[in-house]
Structure 1
């Protein structure tokens, strides 16, 4: 019965994509790009085919429909961010292998006085703060072992942590990293793209970013609490455990500390080494090699602990971004939105743009969304007599608020890779949080510039 349902959903997605391709009078590349977007987006949303297998459809269809060559179509699967993922997974595996994730968790519990909920809230706040200064991906990768360690601790007064509690912690971690990235110019690539093209300074960005972080973080926690109803009120006995500090533990701690420091100091380190982009990924590769070369993490164990399907999934998302850019589909969709909103009241225009970016970023990388749409909407702002910073900033922060799908953002993919969250739950929580973020972004951006 389940296979029949999957086949029916697949057929429906194929029919919709075929209708888009055959009935439109648009140029061939545009029709092809829109058809791929509809098919792949539909399959990801309905889970009719495994997410990673669907991701492989993107380069296949791009080549068959003549949008790009095979080498270009597959290049996204070797994107630097894929190797940043790999480094994060390797660090998490090494920390877990040698019991250091548990030691980190006990340290946080001591700070929180043994209160489980307080520990989790501390984790969310710390993740959001770090993500304001380092990449969201690096932040989520660094904090994941701590989250896993917290979930492994048992309470003296409550039953063992269950599925709802694990989902609350992991989704909260991912969403905190994404929300924190909105806070500063350096927090997320879309912020820098918007600032460069609209002339927004660091201090001016803080006027938008900090209120958004301060509003969205408690709202996110509230949404997850209402949807999931986790039971995290218990106290955990804080055990005074002393580490043996084996050779492997010392090396793992050293590699983790140096990697985290290099991620935090990514910009100056890149300038020092003459690396203009991808310094976080370079650091991640060094970490992987160091862990394996020192015997701290055996390669077979890294293979076993690395969810390669998630790496393929995110590679497919990046490939879809390429397809949307090459085919002109992103510009076409933005133009259609503009036509619909023409003559509408300004708050409605802003609301429509924010909603459009939030939901398109569920399937297209946030950096690609910003790079494609910011120039378009700066022109739209000029045509409407609005300050260009208005729509540019709205697009940038909206691109960080895709909470529904694993493919939407790297933090989503990282926590989904643990296998402890279902896509259905992520979609249910993420949809509600998407709607909340649309309203909050619209109000904050309008408050700053209108």
Structure 2
């Protein structure tokens, strides 16, 4: 787990990968990869403590109504977005380690403080600070991977972070459930918040052995100088925005639709999310290791298309008997998850490799602003359709995947294809 002492610059992207990598090449390599993966895992365990129970947590510790909490969190998410670009500039100026450690400690303090906040203005302010700290971590991790991963390994390091995210969130959710069973209502949720805070404090310690990745000072600032003036990067960021919207809307809407609308047994939801998690953890690294020598825009298009199967099944679910619906849902979720692995992995690598070295933090911050917008839009989108046209939600999401697939194929046929391949090749 020994990391190099310092990294003075980031790498543009992955070098060309072997056509048929050996089995060992599926695993990421390089000094510091152990600390990188462990920090990601601990961070994800903390997120898993909180994420499945977030609304119940805030209901228990604040005493606010569900409507008030939902509105406050949406407002906080939107208020945090302008600060994300500032975070990107901080990464470009001071490097990744100070930002990662500070963000983790801020999130620790926020979850310690939540049980003591009973004023809505204070709650929104604390939620804004926590949201900015979360975005700071998400901006810094790709920059860190790009800076310390050996040539040809950036994609595998990012894949490792996704494996850690899924495994850690699953384990954290299980531990949180046990904590809630073992304790009283409010006491149990306070314990969940404290465990979450502790995980972020441990993650801060695990970031310390990793190097501080700073931009390459000698590289000239590209023409335009801003990520929103980079047409290809903007298109890839918009594609990521659409894909995140589809994924998060599916995660949020599927339980409500199946249990409340179609009256299917609740265990089916658990089964589907178990299929999603296990498929992610088992296939993320092997599949990601085989994507490097393929056209990235075609890969994103293919992965996006795979999402549509589950969405179409859900759109038709109200007309299917349970004995036919269940196997279709399980198969659809497995194919959907494979598509998620393929498309999100390729987009994450493109978003790093298309960013100029000197502005890598700023470019990743711009992408995180887009991600934040997606997270703000999803609750309104899902609530509207589930209230007025439940099956329509899945057809709208399927249409979004079709549009994204066609958009990527259109880019593949234009000059952008060469630029995207060149970025991935480094």
TM-score by length of 1: 0.30
**Greater C-alpha Rg:** 1
Which has a greater percent of helix?
2
TM-score by length of 2: 0.31
If asked which structure has higher relative contact order (CA below 8 Å, sep 6+), I would say 2
